[in-house]
Structure 1
């Protein structure tokens, strides 16, 4: 039975909202109930941003997630704000390039992913969010890369269409990063 609640948080411009939208679109494509709920800080690019995504075979009746199953953290302020909410035994995904010197809870599973370094190796820093999404999908098993890419083909039009191939590489890079 699928019932996943995830909070994705970081700075505006890190692709936080896109990760959440892709998860929600994938669920919809598989006829699974979903709800994506964005939250922005005062600025868009550079300000704080987070979104909540619920994916469930049961009816989703609220956008509020008080205790997520997973939390994807793209920066230090987001770790401080959202790690305490993560349920005991939950999955904590951390961008170790921007989160350093903080301790994690010992009652959750922590996946440290240096997404900025990995994105540089691929050749495009803008795919760091897709690397983290790949790591998340590897651990949760919610959707395949092919399902995500299928959504990208529908949603990425014009100049964004040429980014699909590098995003596919980024998803696989993220999966490999947490397989170790």
Structure 2
């Protein structure tokens, strides 16, 4: 079981990242749960979603501690890193982070998500870059199976684009363990 949070600001695809993860995990036979919180602003306000992915029945969608925290911005990290479980995994969007001293009880992976999405001319793919980094950091699912299902996800939505899977794969390939 993995208790996961995606956190950032509205407009970064935080909620969509969680929805993509649960749809793909469910397609691969996992039990899933998704809850969201966001402020009233359409863009720029706080946004987060909690995702639980499990082989077993899910008891609560609101865990006491997180196994994985995906931070789209530094404020999200500052606010939620204290909710991490010992040995958990934090993924940060290094594009918007200053120098940080990370807690020793978690693994930290960084990816330059904004630069990658921009290079691939898919600014809305920031969340996909972070998803790729998360899959690399956690090994939660096979990267190729995830990529194939991600492509099918966008095809089903009528939003097929090679750039979406490219963002995901670049996030996977470029994620670096920082601690």
TM-score strictly above 0.5: yes
Q: What is the deviation of 1:53?
A: 0.3
What CA deviation, in whole Å up to 9, does each residue of 1:115-140 have, x standing for no partner?
11111211222111111111111222
For residues 162 and 100 of structure 2, the distance between their equivalents in structure 1, rounded to whole angstroms, comes to 35
Out of 83, 93, 96, which is 1:95 matched to?
93
Q: Of 123, 126, 139, which residue of structure 2 is paired with 1:125?
A: 123
TM-score normalized by structure 1? 0.90
1:174 is the counterpart of 2:171? yes
Name whichever of 115-124 and 141-150 sits farther off. Answer: 141-150
2:17 alignment partner in structure 1: 19
1:118 aligned counterpart, secondary structure: helix
Identify, as 1 or 2, the structure richer in strand.
2
Quickly say closer, same or farther: Cα 1:102–1:44, change in 2 above 3 A. Answer: farther
The answer for the alignment partner of 1:115 in structure 2 is 113
In the TM superposition, residue 153 of structure 1 has moved relative to its aligned partner by: 2.0
Query: Structure 1, residues 42-98: CA drift from partner, whole Å, max 9, x if none?
Result: 313110000000011111122202211110001121011111111111111001111
2:152 to 147, 150, 153: 150
Q: Contact (CA 8 Å) 2:91, 2:110: kept in 1 or not?
A: yes
Question: Do the aligned residues in 1 keep the contact of 2:135 with 2:172 (CA within 8 Å)?
Answer: yes
Residue 86 of structure 2 aligns to a residue whose secondary structure is: coil
The total of aligned residue pairs comes to 173
TM-score, normalised relative to structure 2: 0.90
Q: Which residues in structure 2 correspond to 1:77-92 (within 5 Å)?
A: 77-92=75-90
* Residue-by-residue CA offset, 1:137-159 (whole Å, 9 max, x unaligned): 122233321122222222x22xx
Residue 179 (structure 1) shift: 6.1
Supply the RMSD in Å over aligned alpha carbons: 1.5
Partner of 2:43: 45
